[in-house]
Amino acid sequence: MSSAVGSLGHYSSFLEWLESIFSTYGRENCQLAAMICWRIWIQRNDRLWNQRSSSVLQVLNSVGRFLFQWQSARKQLFLADVNVVNGDHGAVCWEKPCFDWLKCNVDAAIFKAQGKFSIDCVIRNSGGEFVTTRCECFLGIFDSREAEALGIREALSWVKRLQLPNVIIEMDNLQVFQALTENFSSPNGFGLIIEECQSLAKSLGEVQFSFVRRSVNFAAHSIARAGGSMSGPREWSHVPPLCLLKYL
C-alpha cells in the first residue's frame, strides 16, 4: 500500500523501507521521503534537548515547504539568499487558513477519450469547515497545464461572483503557480489564460496563490473526477456531496 507521503506495509528494517521507497517511486516522492527522515531527526533532537514538540501535521508540512524552498533555490543557480523564495508553499497536508480567510482548492481532471475536462473548486473557512464547492465540465482537449490554468480562471471568476473576500487559491500544478507568481509572458493560449487570471486576481484585491503537493488537493480532485459524468455545472453549499466527505 502507499500513502500520500510514502510506502505503508511491514518492513524488517528502516533500510528495507527506504529501499522500497527508492525502488518504487519517482524523484519527487523519494525527495519527500528523504526530507521526512531528516525532519523527524530534527524534531527528535528538538524534543530531547529543547523540550519542544510539533504535531505530525506540522512536521509533514515543514517537510513539503523545506523541499519546495530547496528545489526553488536549486533553480536559482544555488543562491543561498533567503529572499530567493517568497511565501510559504509546498505543504503536504491541508491546513486551515488564518482567521477571516478562506481557502479555495482547485483541480482539473482530463478525459481524453471523451474530449473534455472538468474543473472543481472547494472552499473551506478558517475553522476548516466546508463552505461551498463547484464543478463544471468543458469540451476540448487540453494538456494538464492549460486545464489547471483554466481551473484557476474559473475559480477566480466564481469567487468574484460570490463576492468573497480574503481567499487563498491553492493548486498542485507548479508550472501554473510559477506562471501566476513570476514575470511570465507568452503569446500562446496558456499565456493568455494566465493574463486573465492575474487580471481577475487584481480586481478581487485580497487574493493569494499557493502551491501545495497533490496530497493536499484530494478534496478538489475527487469532485473533478466525478465531474466527467455530470450533465452540467453543479454547486453545493453548506452540505458537501457524499464523495467529498472523506476528504474533509
Segment 126-135, tens digit of pLDDT: 999 999 999 9
Do 50 and 131 share a domain, yes or no?
no
Higher-confidence position of 9 and 88: 88
Residues 126/97, Cβ–Cβ less than 8 Å? yes
Give yes or no: residues 125 and 218 share one domain: yes
Largest CA distance in the chain: 59
Residues 21-27 have a mean pLDDT of: 87
| Same domain membership, residue 130 and residue 24 | no
Same domain, 115 and 24: no
Q: What pLDDT is recorded for position 81?
A: 40
Residues 79 and 120 in one domain: no
Instruction: Decide if 5 is inside a domain.
Output: no
Whether 89 maps to a domain, the answer reads: no
Is there a single domain that holds both residue 224 and residue 173? Answer: yes
> What is the C-alpha separation between 61 and 94, in angstroms, rounded?
9
Which regions of the chain does DSSP assign to beta strands (E)?
A: 102-111, 116-124, 130-139, 167-171, 207-211, 234-237
Among candidates 35, 32, 24, which has minimal Cα distance to 4? Answer: 32
152-176 pLDDT, tens digit per residue, is 999 999 999 999 999 999 999 999 9
* Beta bridge partners of residue 74, listed in sequence order: none
For residue 105, the Cα-to-chain-centroid distance in whole angstroms is: 7
The whole-model pTM stands at 0.80
For residues 55 and 108, membership in a common domain is answered with no
Work out the number of other CB atoms within 10 angstroms of the CB of residue 173. Answer: 22
Q: Are residue 114 and residue 76 in the same domain, yes or no?
A: no
User: Cα–Cα distance between 164 and 63 in angstroms, integer?
Assistant: 31
**pLDDT confidence of residue 6:** 53
Rounded to whole angstroms, the Cα distance separating 220 from 235 reads 13
Mean pLDDT confidence for 79-101: 73
**Percent of the residues in the chain that have a pLDDT greater than 90, as a whole number:** 53
CA nearest to 109, candidates 100, 99, 119: 119
Q: Is the pLDDT of residue 94 over 70?
A: yes
pLDDT of 192 strictly over 80: yes
Please measure the distance between the N-terminal and C-terminal CA atoms of the chain and give it in whole angstroms. 22
Asked whether residue 144 falls in the same domain as residue 182, the answer is yes
Same domain, 49 and 165: no
How many residues are given for the chain?
248
Q: Please tell me the total count of domains within the chain.
A: 2
Residue 23 maps to a domain: yes
- Asked if 69 and 161 sit in the same domain, the reply is no
Over the stretch 50-89, which tens digit does the pLDDT of each residue have? 888 888 888 888 888 888 888 777 665 444 443 334 457 9
User: What is the domain range of residue 42?
Assistant: 14-84
What's the pLDDT at 139?
Answer: 92
Residue 3 has pLDDT above 60, yes or no: no
The answer to whether residue 109 is domain-embedded is yes
The CATH number covering residue 233 comes to: 3.30.420.10
Q: Are 216 and 152 in a shared domain?
A: yes
